[in-house]
Every structure is written in C-alpha cells, then in structure tokens.
Amino acid sequence: MLKIAVLVSGGGTNLQALIDAQNNGKLPGGVLSLVISSKKDAYALERAKKAGIPTKVLLRRDYATQQDYDEALLALLDQNQIGLIILAGFMTIISETVIRRYENQIINIHPSLIPSFCGPGYYGLKVHEAALRRGVKVTGATVHFVNEVCDGGPIILQKAVEILPGDTPETLQRRVMEQAEWQLLPKAAALFCQGRILVQDGQTIIKEE
C-alpha cells in the first residue's frame, strides 16, 4: 500500500473527503498514513485523530530558515515512508527543494478551472470572488501536480460547476467543494496509488484499468 501524507492548515473538509473515500473502499492501493498541519488549532487535526491517522504539527516559525523547515519536513516524510503528498488547503510555502525530491508525487486541489483564476494571490474565497466579478458562467475545480510554478503543474482532473444567479463567494465555494473538490481529490489519489497517472511533456495521461 502506498502511504499518503495530507498537508492541512484549516478545517480539513478535503481531508474528510479522503477519509470517507478510504472508509468506503475508494482509495485502492493507498492508505492515509500521516496528517501534517501548519497550525496547532486546525480542526483537520481532530478529523485525523477521529480517523486514527497519526498527526504532526510543523510550524514554519519554529525554524530559523526555509532550509531548516524543508529538512524537518523531508525528514518527517522519509520517516513515514510517504509515497504521495496531498496538499489540502496547506498555506505554508512548499519549496523547490521539497518539490524536486517529490517530483510528480505532490498533488493539490485548486477551486477553479485552471488556467482561470489561479496563480499567486488566488486562494480560498478570493478565487470565487474573482470568478463572480468576471461574470463567468462556469467555474469548477482542478487537481494538479505541484511544480515550481504556482498552480502550474500538470493537470490530472477537472470538473465544471455552474454558477447560479444570486451566487455569493460563500455559496459558490460550498457548491464547488461539494460538486467538484470532494469528488476529484479522492479520485486523483486513487488513480495515483494504482499507478495509472503518467506524465509526459508536462501533461498527464490516465491509463485504463
């Protein structure tokens, strides 16, 4: 079984989607083995503990330099023999050192259809505010590999979500989570753990079962 680490900073709704998928047998080939939080009070830690998943709090401010933090993070991943890293609302910078070590082994969920409303400054409600401000009729979510470019790694899965009249950033955020994020992230994790994702020339190919 491929060991999975989930990196969190907040409530952990995407973590819960992964836990539910595992409990329902929809994470074949993988097991949630570690949850790392950038905040001591993140509710995601409670979700992990309830599910019996080991947790660790790793605070950037506890380390004098980015290199020190990177070494601590990499040591933690190595000790737990992690084969897949999932960023689920993780708000601490992942450096190139970590990305290079785990090339095409780190996946992230972004609440838009990349390349729209992505990159530096686009996170959380800001993404949905921008979509509504622009007046687009469709938004969605994207699961992608993480590389040195913010939201620029190879796309794995996307799902569209309709924008409805009267939507607020909050209602849109909730619907994107329910209709796209919570479905895509466990599916992408399962595909990775089954060895069904190939990356060629910066693009992904999903192998048939």
Which residues are catalytically annotated?
110
DSSP state of 149: S
SS3 content of the chain, % helix, strand, coil (to 5): 35, 25, 40
Residues contacting residue 69 through CB under 8 Å, at least 6 positions apart: 58, 60, 62, 63, 95
Residues contacting residue 33 through CB under 8 Å, at least 6 positions apart: 3, 4, 5, 53, 54, 80, 81, 82
DSSP state of 162: E
